[in-house]
Amino acid sequence: MRRGLLIGIICCLAVGLIFSGCGKKEEPKIKIGFNIPLTGDIPKVGEGSKFAAEMFKADINSAGGLKVGDKSYQLEFIYEDNESKAQSATAAALKLITQDDVLAIIGPQSSKQAVPSGEICNANKTPMISPWSTNPNTTKDRPYVFRGCFLDPFQGPVAANFATEEFGAKKAAVLFDVASDYPKGLAEFFKGAFEKIHGSGSVAAFETFTTKDRDFSAQLTNIIKSDADILFTPQYYDEVPLIVKQARELGWTKPILGSDSWGSAELMNLCGDDCKGSFFSTHYAAAGAKGATKEFIDRYKEKYGYVPDDVGALTWDSIRLLVQAIQNTGGLTGDLQKDRDAIKDQLAQIKDFAGITGNMTFTPDGDPVKCAVIVKISQAGDFEFYKSVCPQ
Amino acid sequence: MGEFFQNLVNALQYGSFLALIALGYSMVYSILMLFNFAHGDIFMVGAYIGFGIATLLVTLASFGALALPGWLILVLTIIISMFLTSFVGMLVERIGYRPLREAPRASAAITGLMIGIILETGNLALLGAKRVSFPALIESATYDIGGVFVTNKKIMIVFVSIILTLALHQFVTKTKWGMAMRAMAFDYLVVPLMGVSINTIARLTFAIGSALAAAAGILYGVAYPVLEPYMGIIVGWKAFVAAILGGRGSILGAALAGFLLGFIEIFVAMIFPSTFRDLIAYSIVLLILVFRPHGFFGEPYSAKLRL
């Protein structure tokens, strides 16, 4: 009985395999892998990435497929869940490369997973684009790895310049979590940039706390005493409300500046009125967007019911970059390794690509030269475009 | 000088939480010789229960069904969640500690850790990892007294915690129940022979300790209005340090040590770079314990009696 069942299952699988094999031969396909966090700590990030990708795929495939050279291809996207873990992300990358035979991989999103996965993709000579990872190590010395966003060594100076130009700040204060890589790195880049403009000692207070601390009163009292003109705090959306509220209660009336980690819709739910009027640097601004960006936001919102976070927009741009590179090869050979190499070469040559998160030109490291956006939190609680800061 | 007074205010607020949580640790430790490591998580549960009640009352008020002013909602929230959280404490005692009363102390200690983890992850499963925002019940008002900024919330927090501490002290020293508790702390083998039920006293101890933790949780939510399931761990450890520092069997000692710990942490951050705050602060605490191993008000014989 049990044996009969087993044989039955095997037969079914075999028949299924034969048919799916037949299906493949009928129309040529381009397979692209996605290494994204569909579960784990930040499922919203994975969801946003997948939604943007699905929207893109539907556009291309319903219009008859992607034209490369003189042939049309249907797009096939394979989504692998990396559970927001480094080990799962490397396993997912390896599976996409060796089992699914994808041409290229989009993701992972966070630096924690993108740095190790970049190593796997580079070693296996498969092009990878991380839409969201801002850590320099992701692409460093890895010719096959690219990214769709700016880097922290750029974001730090952006904030420093903005504080100087917009508020005429001569002295700055920084409050950050010394036990977390992203805020610590960014705080140091900000300090370096600000002191380059105003001389050493111009960062009058460089105060720290450790993850899970909830009381910042002593540090904020020091910051207020330092007589700084601006407070820069590159923290996540669950700490920002506490920092801002406590600063206001201690009598801080000057501007507060943040970084791209502020950019979650959750921020305003937790912070309420206190965060209104603050600024932060990020990848794009949903409110007040124009042209192609607005079109993307409107379509996404209509389809899925909410305004896309920066991750969705960056994923959209990364897929378009990849598709552009595939088209630029002038025709696929069908030899997987040759095609992967050709795509890598084309990606590295992309110049002045008009993305919805800004224009991009790749450096030899695989990092785009692109502008950052300064967002102002409006009185209605929206993240409004304030100005665009581009690398000189 | 203004900076000194500002930090004094900061330390009073921060110390209030440590003091209120330390009371619960101290009582359980004195009476049952137990380290209730789940206490920090009961504090978290209290804050979440308070969040639920406050949200409910605010919603009712916004529909006009029960038009209560904000301060009354806060008072009701504190009272109701103290009441409800005391049952959580009694449940923890009944399930986690009573079956292990005769077991080795280490087993009881890890029970506390496990209950703590169950409460944290249970909350995570129930409400998810999303942070919740404690509703602002009272309009925040800031007073500038000669360059020292004091808010009405801070005054309220310090005031409430001092009142609760004194009330507990009165209860333990002046009432019959309190006397039974003190007797139990003195010797828990002989006192049951006098007709005092150890189960009743243990239940009462956990109920009071948990109610105070709930009050601390709500005040914490008022001061730092972002709640998450792991909020009780670090603050619980620090309050535990305060309870030991205060000395076994001393209510006022635990509260004073809680405030002292707050002062040390805040003033270390004022004088030294804030990166070294806890490093220096807890080195100082260690030094104090070297010279006063039984804490400030602890009685030396009690430890010999039981261990």
Say if residue A108 is preceded by a cis peptide, omega within 30 of 0.
Answer: yes
Binary contact (B14, A242; C-beta < 8 A): no
Phi-psi label, residue A58: left if phi above 0, alpha if psi -120 to 50, beta otherwise: alpha
For every residue of A91-133, which 3-state class applies, written as one string? Answer: HHHHHHHHCCCCCEEECCCCHHHHHHHHHHHHHCCCCEEECCC
Backbone angles phi, psi at A375, to 5 degrees: -110, 140
Binary contact (B269, A41; C-beta < 8 A): no
Give how far the C-alpha of residue A345 lies from the chain's centroid of Cα atoms, to the nearest Å.
Answer: 22
End-to-end CA distance of chain A: 74
Domain that holds residue B243: 2-128+153-306
A217: chain B residues, CB-CB within 8 Å:
7, 10, 13-14, 266
Chain A residue with CA closest to B152: the answer is A249
Edge-to-edge strand ranges of the sheet holding A279-282:
A203-209, A172-177, A230-232, A256-258, A279-282, A372-377, A383-389
A41: chain B residues, CB-CB within 8 Å:
129
Q: Does A42 touch chain B (CB under 8 A)?
A: no
Q: Which fold has domain A152-282?
A: Rossmann fold (3.40.50)
Binary contact (A219, B266; C-beta < 8 A): no
Task: List the CATH number of the domain containing B241.
Answer: 1.10.3470
Question: Which residue numbers in chain B have pLDDT < 70?
Answer: 299-307
Coil vs helix vs strand at B81: helix
**Chain B neighbours among A 321-340 (CB < 8 Å)?**
none
Pairing assessment for the beta strands B142-145 and B148-151 based on DSSP bridges = antiparallel
Give the pLDDT confidence score for residue B15 in this predicted structure. 95
Question: Which residue numbers in chain A have pLDDT < 50?
Answer: 21-25
- Measure in Å the smallest separation between the Cα of A84 and chain B Cα atoms: 14
Residues facing residue A203 across a β-bridge: A172
Domain A30-149+291-370 class in CATH: alpha beta
Binary contact (B274, A219; C-beta < 8 A): yes
Which token pair is A111? Answer: 């630096």
Q: How many domains does chain B have?
A: 1
Indicate which of B1, B4, B10, B150 best probes the interface with A, i.e. most A CBs within 10 Å of its own CB: B10
Backbone angles phi, psi at A234, to 5 degrees: -85, 60
Coil vs helix vs strand at B133: strand
Domains A30-149+291-370 and A152-282 equal at CATH topology level: yes
- Summarised one tens digit per residue, pLDDT across range B205-261 is 999 999 999 999 999 999 999 898 889 999 999 999 999 899 877 889 999 999 999
Q: Where are the domains of chain A?
A: 30-149+291-370, 152-282
Which token pair is B196? Answer: 């005092």
Give the pLDDT confidence score for residue A19 in this predicted structure. 53
Give a yes or no: residue B148 inside a domain.
no
Indicate the residue of A221, A245, A251 with minimum beta-carbon distance to B144. A251
User: Interface pTM (ipTM) of the complex?
Assistant: 0.88
Indicate the residue of A213, A219, A269 with minimum beta-carbon distance to B133. A269
- Measure in Å the smallest separation between the Cα of B236 and chain A Cα atoms: 12
Give how far the C-alpha of residue B15 lies from the chain's centroid of Cα atoms, to the nearest Å.
Answer: 11
